[in-house]
Chains A and B, each alone.
Chain A
C-alpha cells in the first residue's frame, strides 16, 4: 500500500473528516449536474449561487425582508417562551388543572395547524403580526409539554424531604421544583425554536405579496434558480444558527442532569 493511501485511510478514520468529505462530494455532484445535465432554468450550480449571493442582497427589498423575518423569529420565540412558561407552570403545578386541561392542550397540539394558516393571514394581515402569531402558535406547545413533564417527574421523595425540613410552599417551588425543571425547560425551548421556525417560515412563504414570500414567488416565476437558492440558503443558515444557539444553551444549563 502506498504511503498516500495509508495517509488517506488514517485521515478518513476520523468521522468528522469523512462527513465533510461526503458533503463536499455532494456539492461536487450538484455542480456537475447543474452545469452539464440539467437545464439552467431549473437548477443552478453552487459556484454560481455563491458568486451571485451579492446580487441577492442587492435586489431591492430583500435585505429588509430578511431583517424583518429575523426579527419575527426573535419576537415569536420570546413570546412562546413566556406564554409557554406561564401556561406550563399553571397547568403543571396544579394536579386538577393538569388533568382537566392537558387533554385539551394535547388535542390542539395534534391538529394540523397548517390548515388554518389562511385564517391567520385573514385575521392578522399580511404583515409581521400574522407571521409572529403563527410562529407562537407552533412554539408554545412543546414548551408547555416540557414544563409540565419537568414539574411532573420530580421524585416525590425530594418534595417530601424538603417539607420534612420545614420548607414553605414557596421555598419548595423556588429551591426544588424550579431547578429540577430547568433542563426540561431548555429541552422544550429547543423544540419550541423548531416550531417557531416552522410557523414563521410557513407563514412567510404563504404570503406572496410581501416579505420573503414575495421574493420566493418572484424568483420562481422568473425561473431564477440562482437567486432563489441564494435566498433560501441564507434563510437556512439563519435557521441553523438559531437552532444551534438554543441547543448550546440547553447543553450548558443541563450539565447536572443525569438522565
Chain B
C-alpha cells in the first residue's frame, strides 16, 4: 500500500476507536441504569435525560438562568478587557514598570482567586454583583499580562523603520504598536474569557440565587438526577459554543501575522 494509503488507513482506525469508545460509553450507561440495577439516584436513565433536555429546551425554562449567567459574563468580561488592556498598555510603556509590576501580577494570578469568593459575597451579597466582580478580577490578569507582553516586546526594527519614515507617536501606536501587539492581546482575551466563564459558573455553583450554576445545584439538592444531567449537558454545550466562537474570533484577528 502507498504511504498515503497507509496514513489514511491509520486515521480511519483511530477514528473508529474514538467512535467505538463513545458508543461503548453510551451503551454501558444505558445498560447500567436499565439492566444492571444501578440506582437511578446515582445515574439516571439516558433516555430520561434526553427527554428532560428536550423538555427544558421546549419550555424555555433555561432562558432565565441563561440570561443571568450571560449577563454576568458579559459585564465581567467588558470590565476586565477594558481595564486589562488599558492598564497593561500603561505598564508596558516603561521597562522599569514592567519589571516591577509584571511579576506581581503573575504572582497574584498563580493563587486560585476563586478563594476570595466568600469575601466578594460578604461585600456584594449573593446577587450577580459578586459573580461579576469575581469574574472581572480573575479574568483581568491574563488580559493585562498578555497586553504587557504584547506591547512591551514589539520588534525594535519595526519601530526604527517607522520612525525613519517620519511616523508620529500617534501613527506609531496605530500602525505599528497596536497591530504588532494584537495577536498576543487577543490570546490573552480568549484566556480571560474562558476563565471568566468558568469562574462565573463556579461562583454560581457555590453561592448564588440564580444562574445556570445555581440551577444545577438546586436540582442536585432536589435529587432530580435526570433533569440535572440534562442541564449539565446544556451548560457544557453552551460553554463549547462560546469557546468556539471566541477561538474563531481570536484566529481571525491573528491572520497574516
Is there direct touching of A and B in the complex, by C-beta distance under 8 Å? yes
Chain A residues with CB under 8 Å of chain B are 15, 18-19, 22-23, 42-43, 96, 99-101, 103-104, 110-112, 114-119, 121-123, 194, 197-198, 201-202, 205-206, 216-217, 219-220, 223, 225, 228-229, 232, 235-236, 239-240, 243
State the CA gap A236–B221 with chains docked (Å). Answer: 29
- Top 5 nearest A-B pairs by Cβ distance? A118-B220, A100-B17, A99-B14, A15-B99, A100-B14
B180 at the A interface (CB under 8 A): no
A114 lies within 8 A of B213 (CB): yes
| A112, A198, A217, A220, most chain B CB atoms within 10 A | A112
State the CA gap A42–B10 with chains docked (Å). Answer: 61
Answer whether A240 and B111 are a contact pair too, CB < 8 Å, given A18-B100, A112-B201. yes
B81 at the A interface (CB under 8 A): no
Answer whether A228 and B42 are a contact pair too, CB < 8 Å, given A19-B103, A115-B236, A205-B206. no
In the complex, chain B residues whose CB is within 8 Å of the CB of A194 = 110, 112
State the CA gap A223–B122 with chains docked (Å). Answer: 7
User: Which residue on chain B has the smallest CB distance to residue A225?
Assistant: B122
State the CA gap A103–B22 with chains docked (Å). Answer: 12
B228 at the A interface (CB under 8 A): yes
Q: Interface range on chain B: under 10, 10 to 19, 20 to 34, or 35 or more?
A: 35 or more
A118 lies within 8 A of B121 (CB): no
State the CA gap A52–B240 with chains docked (Å). Answer: 45
User: Which residue on chain A has the smallest CB distance to residue B234?
Assistant: A115
B49 at the A interface (CB under 8 A): no
In the complex, chain B residues whose CB is within 8 Å of the CB of A103 = 18
How many whole Å from B52's CB to the nearest CB in chain A? 15
Interface majority SS on A: helix, strand, loop or mixed?
Answer: helix
A123 lies within 8 A of B42 (CB): yes
Q: Could you mark each residue 76-95 of chain B with 1 if its beta carbon is under 8 Å from any beta carbon of chain A, else 0? A: 00000000000000000000
Within 8 A of A (CB), among B204-257: 205-207, 213, 216-217, 220-221, 228, 232, 235-236, 239-240, 243
B115 lies within 8 A of A117 (CB): no
User: Which residue on chain A has the smallest CB distance to residue B218?
Assistant: A118
How many whole Å from B158's CB to the nearest CB in chain A? 26
A220 lies within 8 A of B220 (CB): no
In the complex, chain B residues whose CB is within 8 Å of the CB of A232 = 115-116, 118-119
B13 at the A interface (CB under 8 A): yes
How many whole Å from A180's CB to the nearest CB in chain B? 25
How many whole Å from A157's CB to the nearest CB in chain B? 21
State the CA gap A225–B213 with chains docked (Å). Answer: 25
Answer whether A112 and B198 are a contact pair too, CB < 8 Å, given A15-B100, A42-B122. yes
User: Which residue on chain A has the smallest CB distance to residue B225?
Assistant: A122
State the CA gap A101–B13 with chains docked (Å). Answer: 12
In the complex, chain A residues whose CB is within 8 Å of the CB of B198 = 112, 114
The answer, among B18, B206, B236, for a CB contact under 8 Å with A111, is B236
User: Which residue on chain A has the smallest CB distance to residue B11?
Assistant: A99
| A99, A123, A202, most chain B CB atoms within 10 A | A202
State the CA gap A223–B125 with chains docked (Å). Answer: 11
| B103, B115, B207, B213, most chain A CB atoms within 10 A | B115
In the complex, chain B residues whose CB is within 8 Å of the CB of A111 = 236, 239-240
CB<8 Å pairs between A and B, sample of 28: A15-B99, A15-B100, A19-B100, A42-B123, A99-B10, A100-B13, A100-B14, A100-B17, A101-B17, A101-B18, A110-B240, A115-B235, A116-B232, A117-B205, A118-B228, A119-B220, A119-B232, A123-B42, A198-B114, A201-B112, A202-B206, A205-B117, A206-B205, A217-B118, A220-B118, A225-B119, A229-B119, A240-B111
